[in-house]
Structure 1
Amino acid sequence: MLVMTQEKAPQRSGSSGLNALAGHAVSCSEFKYQRGTEIFGEAEPVDYLYQVKSGAVRCYKMLADGRRQIMAFHLVGDIFGVENGGVHRFTAEAIVETTVSLTDRLNVVGEEGGRAAGTNNVLRLVTSNLQHAETHMLLLGRKTAIEKVAAFLVEMDARLSAAGVLNLPMNRRDVADYLGLTLETVSRALSQLRERDVLTFTGRSHRQIILRDRARLAEFDH
């Protein structure tokens, strides 16, 4: 089931990432989701494949004790909603106001029209997602909080940095739920990295980070 905000903006157009995934031109629509709006829910049928056009998306699972475990962040250009089964394993939610392109899953992996290329590309993307999940499990198993936070910053630096500034769309609660830490522990680790002159903050929200010493940051990531 597709959940939309009232700001629905469907456009029949192609999306280069989804076209590449399908192996041919596909018809896509664009939808805008307000911050905190669910895009799809856990256990819902996999009807669509998505690509982030602007904003950011978190995929998470609610644990039995009520805690939230974020499994992945999807940023501009990322394709998500790909599963190796018929239902979604996680809930996807807009972190900030987010626009996504989507196409019917059958446009990519349908039986008609010769979808072999799309099926192979989906399998590659599923494999890539599994590799990310393995990396995330290793991250959660790190011994110290500062190692976890450093590894997160290295990952985001590779995906987000522009003009030397790391502009995080997610807040510290999101980071904590991704790393399996408390909010206070994440804040303390960031403060320790600042005190060691590895990074500095800019902006009132402290979501803009300047990495002053990437080499030292990477040392924590090993």
Structure 2
Amino acid sequence: MTLAYDTESHAAPLAIAEVMERLGVKMNYAKDEEIFAQDEDADLVHLLVSGAVRTTRLLSDGRRQVGCFYYPGDLIGLETHAIHRFSAEAICPSTVMVVRRSALRAFAGDGHLDRAIWEAARRELERTQEHLLVLGRKTACEKVASFLMGLAQREPAERVQMPMSRQDMADYLGLTIETVSRMLTQLQGAAVVEFDGSRKFKVTRWEALEQMAA
């Protein structure tokens, strides 16, 4: 199978993806299985082929903070330092292409790898900014509405797949799981979104969702 990744969708630069396909090993991870640990040596490069991944960090008081969500085509945890600041776990059954950074550098050349690191750093900055904007929303409803709008914009389909759990959403938004569930119920009750089970939804009133997320 040939993997195609492009920079327009914020995926891995094509040259690096091709090299990783040649040199890499595909690793399959079950739901909630750890891919790499917080403070672990960052000597591997990970490219998500299928599934979805979350990064998390345990805080000093024992709480869990979800840092980001990753989707197929994303480079995961490509650090500029020697260790991973976050751990990464599969949200659902996922396949990850794994290559040693030294092997990738030797094959692709320093220039290609440096550009890949720069591109990954740029995307991480965008993700951080998006996360800060969501956390900066004043109310819980605004935070949840903004999160759902981001998912719907990422996956332009009538029914949007939501791979993360309510707890993942809560730990990402800085809310309790009870608050997240209550806000989702309110949004569905107001006919802004329509859920098909717990992991799939449809935006039925896009303007109303945008207003709530503004």
Q: Percent identity?
A: 36
**In the alignment, what sits opposite 2:8?**
none
Secondary structure of the residue that 1:100 maps to in structure 2? strand
The whole-number CA distance in structure 2 between the counterparts of 1:149 and 1:182 is: 12
2:95 maps to a residue whose letter is T
Q: What stretches of structure 1 of length at least 5 have no aligned partner? A: 1-12
Secondary structure of the residue that 2:92 maps to in structure 1? coil
Q: Is the 2:58–2:64 Cα contact (8 Å) retained in structure 1?
A: yes
2:24 maps to a residue whose letter is C
Deviations 1:148-199 (A, max 9, x none): 001111111122343x001111110110011000001101111111121101
The whole-number CA distance in structure 2 between the counterparts of 1:221 and 1:67 is: 26
1:42 to 13, 17, 38: 38
Tell me how far 1:50 sits from its aligned partner: 1.3
Match status 1:210 vs 2:205: no
2:165 to 154, 163, 171: 171
Match status 1:103 vs 2:99: yes
**In the alignment, what sits opposite 1:8?**
none
2:182 maps to a residue whose letter is R
Q: Is the 1:62–1:69 Cα contact (8 Å) retained in structure 2?
A: yes
Q: Is the 1:14–1:28 Cα contact (8 Å) retained in structure 2?
A: no
**In the alignment, what sits opposite 1:31?**
27
The whole-number CA distance in structure 1 between the counterparts of 2:213 and 2:4 is: 33
Q: What stretches of structure 2 of length at least 5 have no aligned partner? A: 6-11
2:86 maps to a residue whose letter is F
2:173 maps to a residue whose letter is L
Tell me how far 1:121 sits from its aligned partner: 2.6
Which structure has greater helix proportion? 2
Moved more, 87-96 or 187-196: 187-196
The whole-number CA distance in structure 1 between the counterparts of 2:96 and 2:148 is: 25
- TM-score, length basis structure 2: 0.88
2:141 maps to a residue whose letter is I
Matches within 5 A, 1:5-20: 15-17=3-5, 20=14
**In the alignment, what sits opposite 1:5?**
none
Moved more, 16-25 or 153-162: 16-25
The whole-number CA distance in structure 1 between the counterparts of 2:32 and 2:65 is: 16
Q: Is the 1:21–1:118 Cα contact (8 Å) retained in structure 2?
A: no
Match status 1:71 vs 2:63: no
- TM-score, length basis structure 1: 0.85
**In the alignment, what sits opposite 2:9?**
none
The whole-number CA distance in structure 2 between the counterparts of 1:75 and 1:25 is: 19
1:122 to 117, 124, 136: 117
Change (3 A) 1:185 1:152: same
Q: Is the 2:3–2:18 Cα contact (8 Å) retained in structure 1?
A: no
Match status 1:194 vs 2:188: yes
Tell me how far 1:76 sits from its aligned partner: 1.9
Tell me how far 1:132 sits from its aligned partner: 1.4
Q: Is the 1:108–1:119 Cα contact (8 Å) retained in structure 2?
A: no
The whole-number CA distance in structure 2 between the counterparts of 1:143 and 1:24 is: 43
1:185 maps to a residue whose letter is T
The whole-number CA distance in structure 2 between the counterparts of 1:14 and 1:106 is: 23
Secondary structure of the residue that 2:99 maps to in structure 1? strand
Match status 1:146 vs 2:141: yes
* RMSD across aligned positions (CA): 2.0
Secondary structure of the residue that 1:25 maps to in structure 2? helix
The whole-number CA distance in structure 2 between the counterparts of 1:89 and 1:14 is: 31
Q: Is the 1:22–1:115 Cα contact (8 Å) retained in structure 2?
A: no
